[in-house]
């Protein structure tokens, strides 16, 4: 079956205790790729259920404020996100029960809802989108909308340190929750949590890869090579931007792109 990739960028602003960056940020998270069946259907589904906007003249793009979702096709057979390094996405809504009821009535697979997120007062729920991506719904009045990308790993401390070392993000905590680490990229965060079972690579999973935008592409590529980062695809000039691909912890695929065309 032909599959489709959804592209998402973040602009989260969470109440997180983090240290100031030790150096200028080397990168920012530009987008995330998900896999679905049909670009138009994917755009309409995410726009409908999470208050996104499909820009005029497009059928494969959804905007959540400055957050961008794009869809591309893939010929690969793809499994869901559960069990991979990029385990799930999280959205914050005003009323979790109402949202989960809405999704259930729409025929979406609801895994669990109406529970308290650990060490918080937030009510949360978990479901699968129509293409197998695991999504958490929670209520965080400090950040409504897209909330975070959740990374699972057998070594959360080592994984958090890798993202910090490679991309210049400091490690902190989200509110009073102790069971996962938080990485800050400007106004964007990634949560890192210990996995009970072995984690599989993200390629050909419904959250296929993330894309990081480098402020000084060639210099950062040389720095990553000096850190012995594994390159899946060497730096090259695409139609507009400079690009490369690297492998993160637990087989996480990460695409690198220049912040400016050709640079």
Half-sphere exposure of 35 (CA within 13 A, CB side): 21
Residue 5 or 160, more confident: 160
**Domain spans in the chain, listed from the N-terminal domain onward:** 3-258
**Helices (DSSP H) in the chain: which residue ranges?**
39-49, 96-105, 156-167, 217-226
Query: What is the 3 state secondary structure string of 79-118?
Result: ECCCCECEEEEEEECCCHHHHHHHHHHCCCEEEEEEEECC
Q: Residue 168 — left, alpha, or beta (φ > 0 → left; ψ -120 to 50 → alpha)?
A: left
Over 60: is that where the pLDDT of 76 sits? yes
Is the pLDDT reported for residue 159 higher than 80? yes
CB 2 within 8 A of CB 155: no
For residue 227, what pLDDT is reported? 94
Yes or no: say if 72 and 2 are a contact pair by the CB < 8 Å rule: no
Other CB atoms within 10 A of residue 250 CB: 21
Query: Model confidence at 59, in pLDDT bands (50, 70, 90)?
Result: confident
- For residue 23, what pLDDT is reported? 40
- CA 164 to mean position of chain CA atoms: 16
Q: What is the pLDDT of residue 48?
A: 93
DSSP state letter for 262: T
- Terminus-to-terminus CA distance in the chain, angstroms? 36
Mean pLDDT of the chain: 83
Quick one: average pLDDT of 160-188?
Answer: 84
Q: Options 1.10.10.10, 3.10.180.10, 3.40.50.720, 3.40.190.10; which CATH number does 3-258 get?
A: 3.10.180.10
Of residues 14 and 234, more confidence is placed in 234
The residues facing 73 across adjacent strands are 4
Strand order in the sheet with 16-17: 16-17, 171-174, 177-185, 188-194, 145-153, 86-92, 134-138, 123-128, 109-116
What digits encode the pLDDT tens for the residues 96-112? 888 988 998 999 998 88
**φ, ψ at 192 (rounded to 5°):** -125, 125
Task: Please report the pLDDT score of residue 166 as a whole number.
Answer: 94
Confidence grade of residue 164 (pLDDT, cut at 50, 70, 90): very high
Is the CB of residue 79 less than 8 Å from the CB of residue 24?
Answer: no
| Contact in structure between 71 and 39 (CB atoms under 8 Å) | yes
Q: How far is it, in rounded angstroms, from Cα 78 to Cα 83?
A: 13
Q: What is the pLDDT of residue 116?
A: 63
Query: In the prediction, which pLDDT does 147 show?
Result: 83
- Greatest mean pLDDT among 3-17, 123-137, 186-200, 216-230 lies in 216-230
Is the model's pLDDT at 4 over the cut of 70?
no
- Of residues 92 and 251, the one with the higher pLDDT is 251
The span from the CA of 245 to the CA of 236, in Å, is: 10
DSSP state of 214: E
8-state DSSP, 174: E
Q: Using 50, 70 and 90 to split pLDDT, how confident is the model at 71?
A: confident
């Amino acid at each position: 079956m032909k599959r489709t990739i959804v592209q998402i960028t973040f602009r989260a602003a969470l109440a997180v205790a983090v240290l100031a960056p030790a150096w200028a940020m080397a990168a920012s998270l530009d987008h995330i790729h998900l896999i679905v069946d049909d670009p138009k259907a994917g755009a309409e589904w995410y726009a409908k259920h999470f208050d996104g906007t499909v820009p005029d003249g497009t059928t494969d793009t959804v905007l959540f404020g400055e957050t961008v979702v794009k869809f591309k096709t893939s010929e690969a057979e793809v499994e869901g996100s559960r069990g991979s390094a990029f385990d799930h996405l999280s959205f914050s809504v005003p009323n979790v029960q109402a949202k989960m009821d809405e999704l259930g009535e729409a025929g979406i697979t609801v895994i669990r809802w109406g529970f308290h997120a650990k060490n918080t007062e937030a009510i949360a729920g978990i479901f699968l989108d129509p293409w197998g991506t695991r999504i958490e719904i929670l209520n965080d009045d400090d950040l409504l909308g897209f909330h975070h990308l959740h990374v699972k790993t057998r070594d959360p401390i080592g994984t958090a340190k890798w993202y910090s070392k490679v991309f210049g993000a400091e490690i902190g905590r989200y509110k009073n929750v102790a069971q996962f680490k938080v990485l800050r990229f400007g106004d964007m965060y990634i949560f890192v949590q210990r996995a009970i079972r072995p984690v599989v690579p993200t390629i050909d999973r419904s959250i296929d890869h993330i894309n990081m935008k480098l402020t000084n592409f060639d210099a950062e590529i040389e720095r990553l090579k000096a850190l012995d980062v594994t390159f899946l695809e060497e730096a090259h000039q695409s139609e507009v931007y400079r690009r490369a691909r690297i492998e993160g912890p637990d087989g996480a695929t990460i695409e690198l792109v220049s912040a400016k065309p050709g640079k």
